[in-house]
Amino acid sequence: MRKRLYRVLVALIGALMVLMVGSTVAAQATETPPPDATAIQVTLQDEANKDAQGNPKPIEGVTLVVTKDGDKVGEGVTDAKGVAIIEVEELGKHVVSLDEKSLPSGTVLDENTKNEATVQVRFQGPNNRAIFPIGVTAGEQSSFGKDLAQNLRAGIVFALVLCLAALGFSLIFGTTGLSNFAHGELLTFGALMAWTFDQLFKTGGLATVSVILAGIIAVVLGGVGGYVQDKVLWGPLRRRGTGLIAMMIVSIGLSIFLRYLYQYFYSSSTRSVSQYSGQQREEHWYYLGLAFADREAITVLISIVTITVVCLWLAKSRMGKAMRAVSDNPALAASSGLRVDGVITNAWVIGAALTALSGVLYALTLQVNVFMGMRILLVIFAAVTLGGLGTIWGSLVGSLVIGLVYELGPLFGVPTSIKEVGPLLIMIVILLVRPQGILGRKERLG
Amino acid sequence: MDADMTDQTKTDTAQTGPAGLVGVSTEPGAKKPDPILVADSITRTFGGLTAVDVEHVEIQRGAITALIGPNGAGKTTFFNLLTGFDQPNTGSWSLEGKSLKGVAPYKVARLGMVRTFQLTKVLAKLTVIENMRLGATGQKGERIWAAPFKFLWGKQEDEVTNKADELLARFMLDKKREDFAGSLSGGQRKLLEMARALMVDPEVVMLDEPMAGVNPALKQSLLGHVKSLRDEGRTVLFVEHDMDMVRDISDWVIVMAQGKIVAEGTPESVMADQRVIDAYLGAHHDTDLSELDEARLEAEVEAEIAQEEDSK
Amino acid sequence: MDILDILRAALQQALGPQAIVFVLAAIGLNIHFGYTGLLNFGQAGFVAAGAYGMAVTVVTFDAPFWIGVLMAIVAPLVLAVILGVPTLRLRADYLAIVTIAAAEVLRFVFGAVETKDTFGGSNGLNGYAKPFQEANPFSSGLDLGIVSFGRNDLWSLTVGWALVALCCLLVWALMRSPWGRVLRSIREDEDAVRSLGKNVFAYKMQALALGGVIGGLGGLFLALKQASVVPSDYSTLMTFYAFAALLLGGAGRVMGPVIGAFVFWFLIAGLGSFFSQSAGDGGWIPEVIMTDTQASLIRYIMLGLAIMLLMIFRPQGIIGDRREIAIDGR
């Protein structure tokens, strides 16, 4: 019996993000005698609770449900050995989900870890194993200090990635005044592109740098996407003199349009860059000479470098200054000879590219799903309003605060299942008390 | 002696309107015989710049008072402060002895002081007659409970409409009755706004640049309308750049510069006042331009931008 | 390909209970946005407040049915006041963000494991609708040839469309009154209305509350019709669908939301049926291009596109008057 202890950084975009350490349970396949029929076989063991020989204790009486294409096709309960064999009728992709309520008391799933796994049923017979990247912590084992350290780490990663998306939003909002409800879809676009090109490269000669290459392409495509969007849609609308409210509603339409277009081509299943599930994940990362946990480090590094570069660029370069001038007062900028439209196009390209990068980093640290952008959109709104709509420094500070609140909230009484509530409530309160945000100037508001 | 005293008070009460302004001092903050609006030590700052700093001012009842001054003198801001659309940092002001400090704009209007706006605020997507009807006060049908039942407000609505039609006729807008207000010309919008303000039956009418953007043909009739307001016994306070208009119709002129009141007086005396010339041409108009304080200029421009954005 | 089938599916949806929910939500939005210019992106929150007001009162607190109905009206009202007092002073797009966030917060709280005892978690609440079902006077369903409704649906439809008719009547009566005139004026320019002595804040609050309560009635109806309330029903998509229906029909028109929601669901269901017949087994579109699942997505893609194009080219909707609408789409 092979035992693997997955150290997984799992997060559903905008919904959950958790670092699992130490006391995890690996659910894995065993060699239990099979029935004749085609079946999925799952074993649950509690890593945190070992017997005298150091073997993990099996978890009994946990309900597992198997679904295919959203329809329930089977259900099983783990026996005294922690094994459940669930018969299925056809081959193909199945989703095994674990009923958290049936876990024995004292054992809880690690906060918000995905409680389901996708199994490809390839064989007639019972050798289809469900590998759960599921973390379980024994409730009594977590100390506040450890939790704080974990959540702080998760919070910093989340905050930095959020920051990129918020920066993109701010650039576009600053220059155009548009509250872009399709901004989340820009992020999804980056993630999807990263995934697509990673799929393309990972088997060929470029396998060693597959993820990096895919990421770069995704960011470039994101920028191109921003350019096209501005040229085809927003630019003409601006020239027609379309009101901001009307544009905002157009952006809602665009967001719905794009989201379902993505779903059309990518379906609603959750994916991960370079075989996130299964052993290949780690092997793949060894290609890059990185241990798994380095993923976070890389994400943090890339984010900080990008943010610094963008800020310097805004502060020093001609275009950066022009952009700030347009944000400040478009009419004045236009009358002093700035090509406002060109500046706005630039803002779209850079804003979209930054957001795509944010999506790529999400895809790396978390998973890829066509709905990820929609889920994160309100958190981005929260971050930029907190800092002060349209101000660059504001969105940096706002993202950091929101990212940390998001992850640390649960430690201070916010129910973990509704972590989003924290940032949203903060945003509401900020809008009420200080609508110009922490760093915004009051004069900017009407 | 006693008889003298009563005589004195009698003349005082008789000193309403333009007649009362004869012989009033031309110093800033001069006392008027029958002030309807009094303001004391009003200041308003935007960032570092003091936009308005008025020590004392009185507006004579039943007269037309013009508020003039160079750009950025704080006239419109002062207007906003008096009507409750903006709150001053310090100071107190009152209408007929009733303090307006902290009173919401709509309550100021109900107390009898109605304003118009520099950039006309007609309700573009309502018809002219609907614009007018909106102005009427105390409408029963404006209460949500009564609104669904026409028999409760129908009669009053007819009265309101009659009054509106009369005003439209007076302001020569009756032909436009059913047009959308958005289709009116700039001058017609000014007229409509003035007519709509009269639907409130105000004691004091505050006009913010009534002549801006009005074509010359309409100007004369507008002037006539402003005068007719005074003839009805209303008090008019207006901000204006157009000196011809000021000279033509105002009984009293108050000059503001850099937030302060620098001079007051009849149009003739004000036009000749050295302080006014200084204010318009700059006190340093005979000194070297390079000595002007650049930082201050910049601050002024910023404050103006801020103000504009504030009023959006 | 069976055209009659497509037509049947489309009509069934457009007249059916689902459409009624959105008609009511859109009538509420029409008061907010179409007449007053308030950009409420949290209408789903008001609908949820209505539905949960009913369900929680009866299921969790064991109160009688009619108190539940009362609470379905009170809850959105309370929500409107809580949201309105601080937010109605904000700029339009800020109001949009606050309302959408508030609606999401509500949905999260309703669906949370921690509040399961009160709100039933992600499975929601049920078992309160019995008095409604028992009051059904119909002994059988209705078959109109092309569309047919079962006994329960027929009862829901009768109640629902009656509710819609009442609400339309109310909106019509209100909007021709001086009260409605003040609302439309606020939509144009608040400061002008203020300068004429009207308490703008009070009017906005009344509009928010009234529109919210009508949205809440939609929630009450949804709760009664499907005999259960589930938090996932009240996502932001519900708000956006209602907005789409309103824009389609024509904002600022009494019948706008009704016509809009009818056409909206007709198209959504019609397109759904058309593509599900076209794709998959026996369809003319090859599986490579479109599978069954993908076929079900086409209508939403077109919905997004439709919202964009409508807003750009015909912001007044089907029956609106371009000179009179709230938004400047130019």
Least trusted range by pLDDT, from A126-140, A146-160, A360-374: A126-140
* Residues linked to residue B49 through DSSP beta bridges, in sequence order: B46
Top CATH class, C3-324: mainly alpha
Q: Is A443 on the interface with C (CB under 8 A)?
A: no
Q: Is the dihedral of CA C155, C156, C159, C160 positive or negative?
A: negative
- H or E element in which residue B99 lies: strand B98-99
Give the largest CA-CA distance in chain A: 81
d(CA B197, CA B211): 16
In the predicted model, what is the mean pLDDT of residues C259-272?
A: 89
pLDDT of residue A128: 57
Q: Do B309 and A443 touch (CB under 8 A)?
A: yes
pLDDT of residue C329: 45
Supply the DSSP symbol for B203. S
Q: Do C196 and B123 touch (CB under 8 A)?
A: no
The answer to whether B37 and B236 are in contact (CB under 8 A) is no
CA distance A442 to chain B (A): 9
The answer to whether A309 and A22 are in contact (CB under 8 A) is no
Q: At what angle do helices B294-311 and B75-82 cross, to 10 degrees?
A: 40
| Residue A386 predicted with pLDDT over 50 | yes
Top CATH class, A147-444: mainly alpha
pLDDT of residue B299: 64
Q: Residue C164: which of C287, C23, C279 has the closest Cα?
A: C23
Distance of CA C21 to the CA centre of its chain: 5
Token pair of B40 as six digits: 């004391």
Higher local confidence (pLDDT), C246 or B241: C246
Residues of chain A with CATH 1.10.3470: 147-444
Q: Do B309 and A332 touch (CB under 8 A)?
A: no
Q: Do A243 and C328 touch (CB under 8 A)?
A: yes
C210: nearest CA partner in chain B: B144
Higher local confidence (pLDDT), A115 or C200: C200
All structural domains of chain B with their residue ranges:
23-121+202-311, 123-183
Q: Is B185 left (phi over 0), alpha (psi -120 to 50) or beta?
A: beta
Token pair of C206 as six digits: 């009344």
Chain B residues whose C-beta is within 8 A of a chain A C-beta are 46-47, 305-306, 309-312
Pairing relationship of beta strands C125-126 and C228-229 according to DSSP bridges:
antiparallel
The answer to whether A168 and A382 are in contact (CB under 8 A) is no
The answer to whether C78 and A230 are in contact (CB under 8 A) is no
Q: Is B225 on the interface with C (CB under 8 A)?
A: no
Q: SS3 breakdown of chain C: % helix, strand, coil, rounded to 5?
A: 75, 0, 25
Q: Is A90 on the interface with B (CB under 8 A)?
A: no
CB atoms within 10 A of CB B299: 16
Token pair of C84 as six digits: 């309105």
Q: How many alpha carbons lie under 13 Å from residue A181 in its C-beta half-sphere?
A: 27
Q: Is B149 on the interface with C (CB under 8 A)?
A: yes
In the predicted model, what is the mean pLDDT of residues A201-230?
A: 85
Least trusted range by pLDDT, from A304-308, B221-225, C122-126, C287-291: C287-291
Amino acid identity of residue A201, one-letter, is F
Question: Quick check: helix, strand or coil at residue B38?
Answer: strand
Higher local confidence (pLDDT), A339 or A285: A339
Q: Do C196 and B124 touch (CB under 8 A)?
A: no
List, as ranges, residues 75-94 from C with C-beta within 8 Å of A.
Answer: 86-87, 90-94
CB atoms within 10 A of CB C131: 14
The answer to whether A218 and A226 are in contact (CB under 8 A) is no
- Candidates C97, C116, C247: best to mutate against A (most CBs of A within 10 A) is C97
Q: Do B135 and C193 touch (CB under 8 A)?
A: no
> Which value does ipTM take for this structure?
0.85
Least trusted range by pLDDT, from B18-32, C25-39, C248-262: B18-32
Q: Residue A96: which of A78, A74, A118 has the closest Cα?
A: A118
d(CA A232, CA A230): 6
Higher local confidence (pLDDT), A116 or B108: B108
| Residue A278 predicted with pLDDT over 50 | no
Chain C residues whose C-beta is within 8 A of a chain B C-beta are 170, 173-174, 176-182, 184-185, 187-189, 191-200, 206, 210, 323-325
The set of chains that have 3 or more CB pairs under 8 A with C is: A, B
d(CA A160, CA A167): 10
All structural domains of chain C with their residue ranges:
3-324
| Band (C158; pLDDT cuts 50, 70, 90) | very high
CATH among 2.40.50.140, 1.10.3260.10, 2.60.40.10, 1.10.620.20 for A29-141: 2.60.40.10
Torsion of CA C3, C4, C7, C12, to 10 degrees: -150
d(CA A323, CA A344): 8
C101 → closest Cβ in A240, A263, A378: A378
In the predicted model, what is the mean pLDDT of residues A403-430?
A: 78
Taking contacts as CB-CB distances below 8 angstroms, the residues of chain C near B309 are none
d(CA B256, CA B53): 10
pLDDT of residue A245: 79
| Residue C98 predicted with pLDDT over 80 | yes
The answer to whether A192 and A200 are in contact (CB under 8 A) is no
Least trusted range by pLDDT, from C48-52, C290-294, C312-316: C290-294
Amino acid identity of residue B9, one-letter, is T
Mean of per-residue pLDDT scores for chain C: 87
C89: nearest CA partner in chain A: A432
- Architecture in CATH for domain B23-121+202-311: 3-Layer(aba) Sandwich (3.40)
Q: Do A446 and B47 touch (CB under 8 A)?
A: no
Mean of per-residue pLDDT scores for chain A: 72
* Residues linked to residue B39 through DSSP beta bridges, in sequence order: B57, B93
The answer to whether C260 and C246 are in contact (CB under 8 A) is yes
A249 → closest Cβ in C115, C294, C307: C307
The set of chains that have 3 or more CB pairs under 8 A with B is: A, C
The answer to whether A356 and A219 are in contact (CB under 8 A) is yes
Q: Do C197 and B109 touch (CB under 8 A)?
A: yes
Q: Residue A394: which of A445, A358, A332 has the closest Cα?
A: A445
pLDDT of residue C171: 95
Q: Residue A373: which of A388, A365, A363, A364 has the closest Cα?
A: A363
Give the position of tokens 């333009």. B18
The answer to whether C30 and C211 are in contact (CB under 8 A) is yes
Q: Residue B64: which of B210, B227, B222, B256 has the closest Cα?
A: B227
Q: Residue C216: which of C237, C242, C186 has the closest Cα?
A: C242
d(CA B15, CA B21): 8
Number of H-type helices and E-type strands within chain A: 13, 13
| Residue B221 predicted with pLDDT over 60 | yes
Supply the DSSP symbol for A222. H
Q: Is B148 on the interface with C (CB under 8 A)?
A: yes
Higher local confidence (pLDDT), A417 or C189: C189
| Band (C167; pLDDT cuts 50, 70, 90) | very high
Mean of per-residue pLDDT scores for chain B: 82
In the predicted model, what is the mean pLDDT of residues A117-139?
A: 54
d(CA A410, CA A148): 10
